[in-house]
Chain A
Amino acid sequence: NAGVTQTPKFQVLKTGQSMTLQCAQDMNHEYMSWYRQDPGMGLRLIHYSVGAGITDQGEVPNGYNVSRSTTEDFPLRLLSAAPSQTSVYFCASSPDRMNTEAFFGQGTRLTVV
């Protein structure tokens, strides 16, 4: 049981490049989400999903796309990377969106130059 797995752990992109951050969970959780963490800002929600085929925007969705074709996977796509997207990205999952804890991946540190 690996929990929540994020890949890659580190990535450097040039401005304008696109890439996909991968997130997979093996706990059969319905709820998955993506956050970015910047110094002094805490975690801010980018996108979330309440089940396969269902996604919605969080607080800071611009410049990011998501899809949820399976329960296990929730990839985050950067369409055209910008320096403002330099951040640490965390994926999280939980069995229920209301009253249970969330499990986090170890994060992806992304630098856009």
Chain B
Amino acid sequence: SQQGEEDPQALSIQEGENATMNCSYKTSINNLQWYRQNSGRGLVHLILIRSNEREKHSGRLRVTLDTSKKSSSLLITASRAADTASYFCAYRSGGYQKVTFGTGTKLQVIP
């Protein structure tokens, strides 16, 4: 399977703490994206990082990409209860027209 792996599978933190989740993939990629899924809902796009970028910021989100290690990380700073959700990485590779999703990290932020 070409499915990406994410760790940890689950993460529980206190409000105000930072949350870090990691994604590893198996092929060369064009870009990597992170999505959030609230319970029972569809996925919502958070941020996209291109293969020639190493770091990207958006509000409280920081994404890094290491193409030599085929890995990416998503950092959420100063977490809030509303950040409780599952987070997925997704990537397209080469001329490949398919988007592959990781297995997801379930984040719980305790108020």
Contacts and interface: CB of A to CB of B under 8 A. Distances in A.
B78 interface: no
A64 interface: no
A101 interface: yes
A98 B92 contact: yes
Given A97-B92, A97-B97, A99-B48, A44 B42 contact: no
A16 to B, nearest CB: 28
B20 to A, nearest CB: 19
Given A98-B30, A99-B31, A99-B48, A45 B42 contact: no
Interface residues of B, number: 29
Contacts of A58: 98
A97 B90 CA distance: 13
Interface stretch (B54-62, B63-71, B99-107): B99-107
B42 A41 contact: no
A91 B30 CA distance: 22
A102 interface: yes
Interface of A: 4, 31, 33, 35, 40-45, 48, 50, 56, 58-59, 90, 92, 97-107
Interface of B: 1-4, 6, 9, 30-31, 33, 35, 40-45, 48, 50, 88, 90, 92, 97-104
19 contacts: A4-B42, A33-B98, A42-B103, A42-B104, A43-B88, A90-B42, A90-B43, A97-B97, A98-B31, A99-B30, A99-B31, A99-B48, A101-B33, A101-B45, A101-B48, A102-B33, A102-B90, A106-B42, A107-B41
